[in-house]
Amino acid sequence: MATEKKTRIVLIGTGAVGSSYAFALLNNNLADELVLIDVNEKKAEGDAIDLNHGLPFSAPMKIWKGDYADCRDADLVVITAGSNQAPGETRLDLLQKNIGIFKTIVSNVMENGFNGIFVIATNPVDVLTYATWKFSGLPHDRVIGSGTILDTARFRFLLGQHFNVDPRNVHAYIIGEHGDTELAVWSKADIGGRPVLDLFKKEGGDHAAKMDQIFTDVRDAAYQIINLKGATYYGIAMGLVRLTRAILRNENSILTVSTLANGSYGLDDVCIGLPAVVNRQGIREIIELDLDEKEKALLAKSADVLKNSLKNVANYF
Ligand code: NAD
């Protein structure tokens, strides 16, 4: 009897984000095998033991501290390794520290015969998604950054709270850099088929100020959380599980991931957060929204900032 191929996820980086993702995976029954890799081998081993003790409460999964040879049979390699933001530091400030780490990690993964899909969460995620595409030599549709999935989730949560509606019924996107130049696509946001702009106008009062406040709270959420507890990890862990499910279950889900904008939105040669259809092949297509003029200008500006960051590390490519 032929044995079915096991679904394997290799997670590289078992810090706050990585271990939260591993824990969330354990609760979602999405893969048969989970391999943990970290330069801090003790942390990876401790997490593997700890997570295994959760198995009697969840569903069968093989979890172990592994090494790069385990990437050969992986469907997904998820990278959450590298430095995180210190209070006051921007995501782009992390680039010089993390690009060298990525060169080593991605080379190790590829040298071991990996031929699956990369998911990147380390910051600055857009630049490191581009770097992973370059370093790996894989088709760009198989290198996916978490992009603005978390920012979009924060936006939907805050709009849901404002209008007292389940955030799952809020259709609204944050696009652009996962960082200070991201933007809200207000012109296309709707709740239950009703444009969010109309809902704000109907509410009366200074709706522009309310919208500004919501956007600012979304954009600066990471700074607020880092000031309060040093790092953010649960929200992104859930976002990474959502992305994992879209890929492994071939869901054709629309998520605002970081992907190579190969001519879409008039942008070229940059990875940036855009709504895209995600399935078992990776990125099926980018959804081109009919942005208004202000949104178009903000997106172009955000892409310029990312391109400038790429120039600062051009010696790596
Ligand atoms: P952390 O310091 O808790 O964990 C990082 C881990 O990476 C550590 O365990 C470290 O040992 C490991 N590591 C470092 N170099 C390595 C290498 N060469 N090989 C293997 N492992 C290595 O940091 P964190 O809070 O988990 O954050 C990780 C990254 O995720 C940061 O860049 C952070 O900014 C980013 N992040 C992204 C989002 C998002 O929305 N994309 C959200 C939150 C955090």
Taking the centre of ligand 1 as the mean of its atom positions, its distance from the CA of residue 81, in whole angstroms, is 4
Q: Is the dihedral of CA 133, 139, 143, 147 positive or negative?
A: positive
Q: Is the CB of 122 under 6 A from ligand 1?
A: yes
Domains of the chain: 8-145 (3.40.50.720), 149-316 (3.90.110.10)
- The atom of ligand 1 lying closest to the CA of 147 is 41
- Ligand 1 atom 17 nearest Cα: 39
Q: Tell me the catalytic residues.
A: 178
Q: Is the CB of 20 under 6 A from ligand 1?
A: no
Q: Specify the pLDDT at position 91.
A: 84
Q: Is the CB of 226 under 6 A from ligand 1?
A: no
d(C-alpha 43, C-alpha 14), whole Å: 7
pTM of the model: 0.97
The best mutation among 93, 119, 123 to test binding of ligand 1, ranked by most ligand atoms within 8 Å of the C-beta, falls on 123
Taking the centre of ligand 1 as the mean of its atom positions, its distance from the CA of residue 16, in whole angstroms, is 7
Give the list of residues 6+ apart from residue 106 with CB closer than 8 angstroms, or none: 79, 118, 131, 132, 135, 136
Taking the centre of ligand 1 as the mean of its atom positions, its distance from the CA of residue 149, in whole angstroms, is 17
Q: Is the peptide bond before 124 cis (omega within 30 degrees of 0)?
A: yes
Q: Specify the pLDDT at position 3.
A: 67
Q: Is the CB of 44 under 6 A from ligand 1?
A: no
CA distances from 74 to 32, 112, 179, 273 (A): 11, 10, 30, 25
Burial, 195: exposed, middle or buried (Cβ in 10 Å; 0-12, 13-18, 19+)?
middle
Q: Is the CB of 258 under 6 A from ligand 1?
A: no
d(C-alpha 125, C-alpha 122), whole Å: 5
d(C-alpha 71, C-alpha 56), whole Å: 26
Q: Is the CB of 272 under 6 A from ligand 1?
A: no
Taking the centre of ligand 1 as the mean of its atom positions, its distance from the CA of residue 299, in whole angstroms, is 27
Q: Is the CB of 103 under 6 A from ligand 1?
A: no
Q: Where are the alpha helices (DSSP H) in 87-124?
A: 95-111
Q: Specify the pLDDT at position 95.
A: 92
Q: Specify the pLDDT at position 89.
A: 83
| pLDDT tens digits in sequence order for the chain, 317 residues long | 556 789 999 999 999 999 999 999 999 999 999 999 999 999 999 999 999 999 999 999 999 999 999 999 999 999 999 988 888 888 888 898 899 999 999 999 999 999 999 999 999 999 999 999 999 999 999 999 999 999 999 999 999 999 999 999 999 999 999 999 999 999 999 999 999 999 999 998 899 999 999 999 999 999 999 999 999 999 999 999 999 999 999 999 999 999 999 899 999 999 999 999 999 999 999 999 999 999 999 999 999 999 999 999 999 99
The best mutation among 11, 12, 17, 175 to test binding of ligand 1, ranked by most ligand atoms within 8 Å of the C-beta, falls on 17
- Ligand 1 atom 36 nearest Cα: 122
Q: Specify the pLDDT at position 2.
A: 59
